[in-house]
Amino acid sequence: MRIIELKARQQEIIEIVKKNQPITSESIANLLNVSRSALRSDLSILTMSGFLEAKPKVGYFYVRSEERARLSKLIQGTKVGELMSLPVMLEEKSSVYDGIVSMFLEDVGTLLIVSKGYLVGVVSRKDFLKTAIGGSDITKIPIGMIMTRMPNVVVCHETDSIFNAAKKIITHEIDSLPVVEEHTKDGEVFYKVVGRFTKTNIAIQFVELCV
């Protein structure tokens, strides 16, 4: 492990190299608005301590520390199927009232909505709140009317890495992804639900990596 205090300037250089690699010392100097000679000692400290690698005629590269590389490999190598939770499913024709009751009883934040055994949508706490404050009779409205419907549902597969699944959760600003298996019928793709991958699954893994 590299235990070394870096100066602010050296940290800045590392960030520049990470974003622009391979990059010459001249370009780094231009980006920092300093002369090449003013950078010489920082660049040699960073290469000697293993943060950067200099390839002649190419430029500087960032070298990942062994610790980071190991952690990254572990996260990229862990599959959704190893961490996922059991799905909580409800039929599309169930009422909003039944959905709210299921959410409480099953203690989940998202319900996966199915019809004829296949995923047709998802419904979250906010969807229920919106409907409830709208003042409609929640015993009469079917969940199918308020859910986020296919093909707008973001899904993942058991074999996906948790890294890619977590990126989807962040990009789409959602709490969970249905884990599905694809079935093709008459040229059309249907999704059978096999699990759910949630922010809690990620938090558990995060804690386990630290113990």
Among 20, 21, 95, 148, which residue interacts with ligand ADP (rule: CB under 6 A)?
148
**What length is written for the chain?**
211
161 in Cβ contact with 137 (< 8 Å): no
- DSSP H or E run through 27: helix 25-32
- d(C-alpha 164, C-alpha 160), whole Å: 7
CB nearer to ligand ADP: pick between 14 and 196: 196
CB nearer to ligand ADP: pick between 43 and 112: 112
Taking the complex as a whole, the smallest distance from the CB of residue 29 to ligand ADP amounts, in Å, to 45
Residue numbers 155-174 binding ligand ADP by CB under 6 A: 174
Strand-pair partners of 195: 179
Please work out the total of residues on this chain that contact ligand ADP, with binding judged by CB under 6 A: 16
DSSP string for 72-87: HHHHHH-BHHHHPBPP
Is 10 among the residues that bind ligand ADP (CB under 6 A)? no
Among 51, 127, 162, 195, which residue interacts with ligand ADP (rule: CB under 6 A)?
127
Residue numbers 67-126 binding ligand ADP by CB under 6 A: 109-110, 122-126
Site string for ligand ADP, 23-42 (x = CB under 6 A): --------------------
Name the residue type at position 190.
Answer: F
Q: How far is CA 37 from CA 9, 11, 44, 121, in A?
A: 14, 18, 11, 60
Closest to 161 measured CA to CA, from 74, 69, 86: 74
CB nearer to ligand ADP: pick between 135 and 151: 151
Strand-pair partners of 184: 189
Kindly give the pairing relationship between strand 118-124 and strand 148-149.
Answer: antiparallel
Among 41, 136, 152, 164, which residue interacts with ligand ADP (rule: CB under 6 A)?
152
Bond from prior residue into 142 cis (ω within 30 degrees of 0) = no
Among 28, 96, 113, 177, which residue interacts with ligand ADP (rule: CB under 6 A)?
177
CB nearer to ligand ADP: pick between 34 and 129: 129
Taking the complex as a whole, the smallest distance from the CB of residue 76 to ligand ADP amounts, in Å, to 21
Task: List residues binding ligand ADP (CB under 6 A).
Answer: 109-110, 122-127, 148, 152-154, 174-177
